[in-house]
Amino acid sequence: MKPAAQNPAPADAAERRAVKPVICYPTETLPSPDMPCYLNARSQLSGTETLRIPAREARVFQVPAGSFFRILSVEGPQVGDLNLFNRHNPEEHFYSGKTRALHGTHLSTGDRLWSNFPYLRPLATITHDTLDWYGFDQDGGSVHDVIGTRCDPYTHQLLSGDAYHNCCHSNLYRAFSAATGIEASRVERLVHDVLNVFMCTGFTQDTHQYFMKASPVRPGDYLEFFAEVDLTGVLSACPGGDCGNEHSSDKADCYPLEVQILTPAPGTLEGWQSPTPSNYHHPD
């Protein structure tokens, strides 16, 4: 708990609090994704590859620009921690914080996964979400968040004193290092805050702390993305399982996840162009 305020409220406190909030990043001027184009393309998909991510491990997958990929729940409720990289330049990767600033705390169909500076372009667009019925629950929780980071052994050790080696952070960098040959110490710095796929989270109404509750995901549910650029994805099947109790341990029931790479029929992406990086340049 935070200590009580040490300063008395000023006479005009109510007035100061009553000013209207404004949206930090109004999205009216944000180039909107051409959803009819994506929906047309996704109506004729053929599967090219399926990958299974074992429980408490991570795997790397490649998605060519112009293809789709799905993350599926297959055997039981399971949360996944997703990193995305530009396949040709791992320094360009998913930027959870700016994605949150643009699209809000939880993502669904039509939202995009933006890359870091100095690139700032959509790496992927969400094209289908079988959990879009969930909305926000009575606790203020929702699914697919960009407010958490990724479970990691440093915070776990800080809070518990224990060392746990299969946190998503560790799984992600081990898998990425093994697949790319980039040494683990450099890869660890490239691993970034994730999209928490299927995870149900929010902030408590009393203390405003980050909470999780058991994911509503069930086998057959999936989150589908369109790859705007050539992507390397890394997905960890979180040791927290459905994240209904605890993560960073082997206590939860954990299940594998599946990634499907899907290719649209030729000619169905008429008018789509892979986005270019930001054209902003520093004056110096």
CB 96 within 8 A of CB 192: yes
Q: Rg (Cα) of the chain, in Å, rounded? A: 20
By beta-carbon proximity to Zn ion, the closer residue of 217 and 262 is 217
**Dist. CA 33–CA 31, nearest whole Å:** 7
The answer to whether residue 151 forms part of the interface with Zn ion (CB under 5 A) is yes
* Cβ at position 196, least distance to Zn ion in Å: 8
Scanning the structure block, which residue is given the tokens 């669904």? Answer: 108
The answer to whether residue 58 forms part of the interface with Zn ion (CB under 5 A) is no
* Cβ at position 42, least distance to Zn ion in Å: 29
Structure tokens given for 196: 């928490």
By beta-carbon proximity to Zn ion, the closer residue of 41 and 200 is 200
CB 120 within 8 A of CB 279: no
By beta-carbon proximity to Zn ion, the closer residue of 80 and 122 is 80
Contact stretch for Zn ion (CB under 5 A) within 39-47, 146-154, 187-195, 203-211: 146-154
The answer to whether residue 168 forms part of the interface with Zn ion (CB under 5 A) is yes
Site for Zn ion in 68-107 (CB under 5 A): 81
* Cβ at position 92, least distance to Zn ion in Å: 23
* Cβ at position 198, least distance to Zn ion in Å: 11
Contact stretch for Zn ion (CB under 5 A) within 33-41, 113-121, 165-173, 176-184: 165-173
By beta-carbon proximity to Zn ion, the closer residue of 147 and 168 is 168
**Dist. CA 240–CA 197, nearest whole Å:** 13
* Cβ at position 169, least distance to Zn ion in Å: 8
By beta-carbon proximity to Zn ion, the closer residue of 81 and 228 is 81
Binds Zn ion (CB under 5 A): choice among 126, 197, 238, 259: 238
Structure tokens given for 31: 């180039």
Amino acid identity, position 134? Y
* Cβ at position 278, least distance to Zn ion in Å: 30
Number of residues located near Zn ion, criterion CB under 5 A: 4
* Cβ at position 81, least distance to Zn ion in Å: 5
Contact stretch for Zn ion (CB under 5 A) within 19-27, 86-94, 151-159, 220-228: 151-159
| Phi, psi dihedrals of residue 210, rounded to the nearest 5° | -65, 125
* Cβ at position 167, least distance to Zn ion in Å: 6
The answer to whether residue 113 forms part of the interface with Zn ion (CB under 5 A) is no
The answer to whether residue 172 forms part of the interface with Zn ion (CB under 5 A) is no
Burial of 179 (0-12, 13-18, 19+ CB in 10 A): middle
Burial track 229-267 (b if 16+ CB lie within 10 A, e otherwise): bbbbbbbbbbbbbbbeeebbbeebebbbbbbbbbbbeee
Number of Cα atoms under 13 Å in the Cβ half of residue 93: 19
- Residues near 148 by Cβ (< 8 Å), separated by ≥ 6? 193, 194, 196, 199, 201, 210, 212
Strand (E) or helix (H) holding 32: none
Question: Interface with Zn ion by CB under 5 A: which residues?
Answer: 81, 151, 168, 238
